[in-house]
């Protein structure tokens, strides 16, 4: 175990180590609040559960705009500066939650926080690209994802402890998260400052929206990223509504998934440093997801114990798919983003995660709860479509990349003059 952990985080050197501490602190706050937010809003803020659900959906939808707008701003003002501002704003925004006692106050605050949180994604990605050498970015990003899962789990356990202590302790939840954002902002300020990359490049804003090949990569990746909705919503809801399996299997599924991601994300990312390697990882992810869906479709026809065994096997397959798909996303995001519009393209590529986070759970739940066997087969078709589309989409997007700048010409060194007999005397 110690060897696996050392191997996982050994790639975080120099500024990447500070990025790791930043990501861990950020994930700690995320886990703390996300695990307890629903209980907080209903118990402390006194909001109806339906209002809470609508607000969280609205916050997710804000990510579609925020990812693009803040991606563009990353290029304009610089990743370090923008991320610092966003983190300070988030700390202040979470301090507003104790005053929220009505839907009229809740919706503006939750949408604002959603936009700021999604806006941090492209700025953080651009910061990795600036501070980590090209050949190490995918591995470092994978190590950061492992750290995020570890921190998120620790935060979720802390939230569970606060919930158990009662309403007064739970009221501290948003303030505790706000403090983690202040700590994260302080860590960003310790990083080296880099100049903005596209302050006056003369290009039209949001040119990524006119880059149809790149949008094709986002669409294909969105289909492959549905594994997350399956693990977080599809399988748990299917177990509860469509099977006789014990409900205690649901937290076990999430715990197994989290531990495996922490331990093996870096190993799964090897080979994804190039675009070709990223495509191979994406295809493996899609095919494994198809196999998992087929297994769950077959599980609808089996008895209780066999269904449980197949379900656990499918969870392992979907976790493997998640590891490969995340690795492919790191490689594709960094590899297809032009240097002078890096933030804008990373923000747009982040949309494949926004799409699956906002639309994925509803789609997956509709298919597997309402249609059972046919629903799992329909999901398999979606994964198969993403698998078939990702390679051609990346090939088209690669052709749109600007040619690398030529090496500056250097004058040839003068040829050595032959020494004469007199000169050698």
Q: Does the structure show a pLDDT above 60 at 150?
A: yes
Asked if the structure places residue 417 within a domain, the reply is: no
Asked if the structure places residue 115 within a domain, the reply is: yes
Asked if the structure places residue 196 within a domain, the reply is: no
| CATH number for 244 | 1.20.1250
Specify which of 6-10, 289-293, 353-357, 415-419 reaches the highest per-range mean pLDDT: 289-293
CA 118, 319, 273, 280 torsion-angle sign: negative
Same domain, 138 and 224: no
Asked if the structure places residue 4 within a domain, the reply is: no
pLDDT band of 56, cuts 50, 70, 90: confident
Triad 106, 109, 112: Cα angle to 5°: 145
Same domain, 215 and 301: yes
| Alpha carbon of residue 341 to chain centroid | 20
Q: Does the structure show a pLDDT above 70 at 406?
A: no
Mean pLDDT of 139-158: 90
Same domain, 102 and 229: no
Q: Does the structure show a pLDDT above 90 at 2?
A: no
Same domain, 349 and 384: yes
Asked if the structure places residue 349 within a domain, the reply is: yes
Asked if the structure places residue 274 within a domain, the reply is: yes
For 20, 27, 183, 320, the CA distances from 24, given in Å and listed in that order, are: 6, 5, 11, 23
For 264, 352, 394, the CA distances from 142, given in Å and listed in that order, are: 9, 17, 21
What is the Cα–Cα distance from 29 to 18, expressed in whole angstroms? 17
- Return the pLDDT at 418: 39
Mean pLDDT of 146-150: 91
As a whole number, the mean pLDDT across the chain is: 86
| CATH number for 64 | 1.20.1250.20
- Prediction pTM value: 0.85
Same domain, 86 and 226: no
Count of CB atoms within 10 A of residue 39's CB? Answer: 17
Same domain, 163 and 215: no
Who has greater pLDDT, 410 or 190? 190
* Domain count along the chain: 2
Listed residues 121, 155, 188: the one ending a domain: 188
Listed residues 129, 153, 188: the one ending a domain: 188
pLDDT tens for each residue of 358-368: 888 889 989 98
Listed residues 188, 215, 234: the one ending a domain: 188
- Return the pLDDT at 395: 96
| Domain around 286 | 206-400
- Return the pLDDT at 404: 57
Same domain, 113 and 56: yes
Same domain, 125 and 37: yes
Mean pLDDT of 159-185: 89
pLDDT tens for each residue of 217-273: 999 999 999 999 999 888 988 888 888 888 778 878 888 888 899 999 999 999 999
For 202, left (φ over 0), alpha (ψ -120 to 50), or beta? left
pLDDT tens for each residue of 31-42: 888 888 888 888
- Return the pLDDT at 387: 97
CB of 263 closer than 8 Å to CB of 292:
no
Q: What is the 3-state secondary structure (H, E, C) of the chain?
A: CHHHHHHHHCCCCCHHHHHHHHHHHHHHHHHHHHHHHHHHHHHCCCCCHHHHHHHHHHHHHHHHHHHHHHHHHHHHHCHHHHHHHHHHHHHHHHCCHHHCCCHHHHHHHHHHHHHHHHHHHHHHHHHHHHHCCHHHHHHHHHHHHHHHHHHHHHHHHHHHHHHHHCHHHHCCHHHHHHHHHHHHHHHHHCCCCCCCCCCCCCCCCCHHHHCHHHHHHHHHHHHHCCHHHHHHHHHHHHHHHHCCCCCCHHHHHHHHHHHHHHHHHHHHHCCCCCHHHHHHHHHHHHHHHHHHHHHHHHHCCCCHHHHHHHHHHHHHHHHHHHHHHHHHHHHHHHHHCCHHHHHHHHHHHCHHHHHHHHCHHHHHHHHHHHHHHHHHHHHHHHHHHHHHHHHHHHHHHHHCCCCCCCCCCCCCCCCCCCCCCCCCC
Same domain, 243 and 382: yes
Same domain, 175 and 274: no
CA 303, 305, 308, 309 torsion-angle sign: negative
- Return the pLDDT at 37: 84
Percent of residues, the chain, with pLDDT higher than 70: 89
pLDDT band of 370, cuts 50, 70, 90: confident
Same domain, 224 and 98: no
Same domain, 142 and 76: yes
pLDDT band of 285, cuts 50, 70, 90: very high
Asked if the structure places residue 214 within a domain, the reply is: yes
pLDDT tens for each residue of 376-388: 999 999 999 999 9
Q: Does the structure show a pLDDT above 50 at 423?
A: no
| Radius of gyration in angstroms for the set of CA atoms belonging to the chain, rounded to a whole number | 24
């Amino acid at each position: 175990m110690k060897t696996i952990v050392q191997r996982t985080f050994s790639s975080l050197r120099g500024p990447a180590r500070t990025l790791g501490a930043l990501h861990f602190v950020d994930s700690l706050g995320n886990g703390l609040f996300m695990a307890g937010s629903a209980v907080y809003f209903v118990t402390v803020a006194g909001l109806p559960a339906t209002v809470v659900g609508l607000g969280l959906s609205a916050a997710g939808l804000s990510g579609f705009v925020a990812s693009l707008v803040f991606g563009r701003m990353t290029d304009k003002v610089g990743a370090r500066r923008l991320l610092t501002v966003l983190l300070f704003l988030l700390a202040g925004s979470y301090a507003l939650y104790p005053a929220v006692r009505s839907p009229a106050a809740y919706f503006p605050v939750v949408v604002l926080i959603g936009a700021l949180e999604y806006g941090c994604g492209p700025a953080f990605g651009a910061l990795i690209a600036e501070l980590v050498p090209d050949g190490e970015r995918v591995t470092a990003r994978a190590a950061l994802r492992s750290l995020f899962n570890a921190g998120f789990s620790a935060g979720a356990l802390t939230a569970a402890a606060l919930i158990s202590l009662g309403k007064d302790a739970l009221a501290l939840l948003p303030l505790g998260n706000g403090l983690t954002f202040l700590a994260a902002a302080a860590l960003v300020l310790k990083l080296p400052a880099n100049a903005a990359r596209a302050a006056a490049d003369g290009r039209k804003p949001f040119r990524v929206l006119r880059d149809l090949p790149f949008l094709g990569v986002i669409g294909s990746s969105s289909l492959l990223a549905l594994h997350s909705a399956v693990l977080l919503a599809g399988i748990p809801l299917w177990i509860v509504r469509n099977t006789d399996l014990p409900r205690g299997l649901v937290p076990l599924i999430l715990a197994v998934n989290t531990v495996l991601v922490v331990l093996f994300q870096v190993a799964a990312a090897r080979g994804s440093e190039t675009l070709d390697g990223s495509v191979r990882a994406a295809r493996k992810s899609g095919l494994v997801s198809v196999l998992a869906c087929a297994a769950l479709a077959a599980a609808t026809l089996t008895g209780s114990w066999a269904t449980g065994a197949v379900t656990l096997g499918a969870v392992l397959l979907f976790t493997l798919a998640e590891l490969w798909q995340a690795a492919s996303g790191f490689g594709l995001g960094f590899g297809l983003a032009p240097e002078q519009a890096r933030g804008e393209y990373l923000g747009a590529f982040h949309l494949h995660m926004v799409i699956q986070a906002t639309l994925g759970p509803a789609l997956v739940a509709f298919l597997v709860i309402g249609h059972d066997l046919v629903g799992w087969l329909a999901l398999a078709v979606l994964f198969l479509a993403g698998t078939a589309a990702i390679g051609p989409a990346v090939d088209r997007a690669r052709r749109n990349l600007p040619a690398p700048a030529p090496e500056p010409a250097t004058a040839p060194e003068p040829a050595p003059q032959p020494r004469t007999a007199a000169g050698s005397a």
